[in-house]
């Protein structure tokens, strides 16, 4: 085997110069196309994410508007008066410093209301004794 001389290698380079240039251009173009495709894919992902975030922001803003409307309704004196009247009527509640008066709307009991009721001397029978009396009368 003989070694190539400098002039032979030069001739060989000149012979394949156009092919080497085309191959280099092809590699560079391929690299740019892949880089562009990657950037386009990433841009599409970012646009989808931005769209999701815009949708979430719109939903939050709609909730915010609804909450502001509720705040306007519930911060009025009319709402406070309504809530207090319902608490007084339905739950027998009162504001601090007020006294709640409970009225019984039933038939009036005979006798003096100021008297203490007479204590009963007989204790109630035990529950088991009541059941025995129900099932085994004397």
Write out the two tokens for 97: 């410093």
Mean pLDDT of the chain: 84
The confidence band for 96, taking pLDDT boundaries of 50, 70 and 90, is confident
**Vertex 76: Cα angle to 66 and 94 (nearest 5):** 120
Residue 56 has pLDDT above 50, yes or no: yes
Look at residue 94 in the predicted model and tell me its pLDDT: 84
pLDDT at 1: 47
Q: Against a cut of 0.85, is the pTM above it? A: no
CA distances from 90 to 83, 85, 136 (A): 10, 8, 46
Q: What is the mean pLDDT of residues 23-52?
A: 96
Per the model's pLDDT, the better-predicted residue between 48 and 81 turns out to be 48
Confidence band of 92 (pLDDT split at 50, 70, 90): confident
């Amino acid at each position: 085997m003989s070694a190539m001389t400098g002039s032979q290698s030069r001739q060989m380079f000149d012979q394949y110069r156009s092919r080497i240039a085309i191959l280099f251009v092809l590699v560079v173009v391929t690299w740019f196309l892949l880089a562009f495709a990657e950037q386009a894919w990433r841009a599409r992902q970012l646009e989808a994410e931005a769209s999701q975030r815009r949708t979430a922001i719109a939903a939050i803003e709609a909730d915010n508007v609804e909450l502001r409307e509720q705040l306007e309704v519930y911060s009025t004196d009319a709402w406070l008066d309504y809530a207090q009247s319902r608490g007084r009527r339905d739950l027998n509640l009162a504001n601090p410093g007020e006294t709640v008066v409970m009225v019984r709307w039933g038939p009036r009991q005979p006798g003096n209301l100021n008297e203490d009721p007479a204590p009963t001397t007989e204790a109630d029978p035990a529950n088991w004794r009541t059941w025995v009396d129900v099932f085994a009368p004397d």
